Amino acid sequence: MLLFLAVSLAPFAVIAPFIGPVIDRIPGGRRFTVFLVSALRCATVVAMISRLNSLSLFALAFISLVLARTYSVSKAALVPTLVKNDDELVSANGKLGLLSGLMGFAAAIPAGLLQLIDARVTLCMSATMFGLAGLAALRLPRHVATTPSQVEEIETEELRNNLVKRIGLSMMILRGVIGFLFFHVAFWLRDERAGTAWFGLAIGLSSLAIMIANSVAPLLRRFMSERKMMMFAYLAIGVTGVIAGVVGGITAGIVLIAVTNGMGSVGRLAFESVIQREAPDVNRARVFVRFETRNQLAWVGFGLIAVILTLPGAVGFAFVGVTCIAGSVYFFSGKINS
């Protein structure tokens, strides 16, 4: 389990010091990066086909993880160049998240059927999809990076305001809560009857909740600011966590993990919108890498707490609820200068 946590963090160790600045500095960097990442993921999957029984498969899998994180950062940095105004950021990010979830469900069925034939056939399907994604990336608008000399002054002025700091910290804690709950529920259900089936149900409902959140978040943005969206996410998780802690039981735990992941997506969309709006175009990819590294560290750190302590189910649920309620009061009680 500790190895899994380390591996989940390792790609950020590669992205943080190197890939973010490269994306920001290459002319046409984000468009080119999306194309290049898709092409490299295609090539990586093709290389896996002949190495299924080799130790080199693990190295290729790690490369695939790094490329996936690179794509995620490039996509987040590219979105502001594709919308007409900042009010459309939440909607655009939500649509991308929803489309990603729907494509994941759509691809799961044929991938599962092909897996019954041969794992290499499934990999061929993946390689084809990545190749098509690379061709689609060529239709994205070209972005021309600004000179590096402007970075520090813009960063100081735009990235250190109170709103960015608070929503960044709140997103980090929210990611930590999601990591804690993931491992808490997994270890708790391990000792329950049909624990694996229950955990599978929890993951399935969480995926559904994430897609629903991506659909609903743009509607929420019409009635509230990103700050209030984050507070709404915190309060929803907090109240559900406290109730789950009082009620206890498998059903309460499954409901809580679904609500947490769904509301986590609402918070993520609010967070991404603020950073996309406030971060200077010249340095946007590097900014996202910095925040994503912090968020992943929180996910790993809180997950490690769940692994080490192995709390009773209801106690863990209550911990999630109290943490989020306290966080909503602390992070959103002060004055925000956006």
C-alpha dist (Å) from residue 265 to 157, 208, 234, 236, 293:
28, 11, 11, 12, 17
The string of pLDDT tens digits covering residues 266-300 is 999 999 888 888 766 656 677 777 888 888 889 98
Cβ-contact 280, 154 below 8 angstroms = yes
The string of pLDDT tens digits covering residues 62-75 is 888 888 888 887 78
Question: In this model, does residue 154 exceed pLDDT 60?
Answer: no
Q: How confident is the model at residue 39 (pLDDT cuts 50, 70, 90)?
A: very high
Note the Cα 30 to chain centre separation in Å.
19
Q: Is the pTM of this model over 0.85?
A: no
The string of pLDDT tens digits covering residues 293-331 is 888 889 989 998 988 888 888 999 999 999 999 988 877
Stretch 139-145: mean pLDDT, rounded? 63
Encode burial over 262-295: b for 16+ CB neighbours within 10 A, e otherwise.
bbbbbbbbbbbbbbbbbbbbbbbbbbbbbbbbbb
Domains of the chain: 2-140 (no CATH), 151-332 (1.20.1250.20)
DSSP state of 73: H
Q: What is the largest CA-CA distance in the chain?
A: 61
Question: In this model, does residue 49 exceed pLDDT 80?
Answer: yes
pLDDT of 212 reads 92
pLDDT of 242 reads 95
Question: In this model, does residue 147 exceed pLDDT 60?
Answer: no
Q: How confident is the model at residue 145 (pLDDT cuts 50, 70, 90)?
A: very low
Q: How far apart (Å, rounded) are the C-alpha atoms in residues 32 and 70?
A: 12
Q: Which amino acid is at 47?
A: A
Question: In this model, does residue 261 exceed pLDDT 70?
Answer: yes
pLDDT of 267 reads 93
Q: What is the mean pLDDT of the chain?
A: 81
Please count the other Cβ atoms lying within 10 Å of the Cβ belonging to residue 160.
10
Which residues lie below 8 Å from residue 235, measured CB to CB, with a gap of 6+? 324, 325, 328
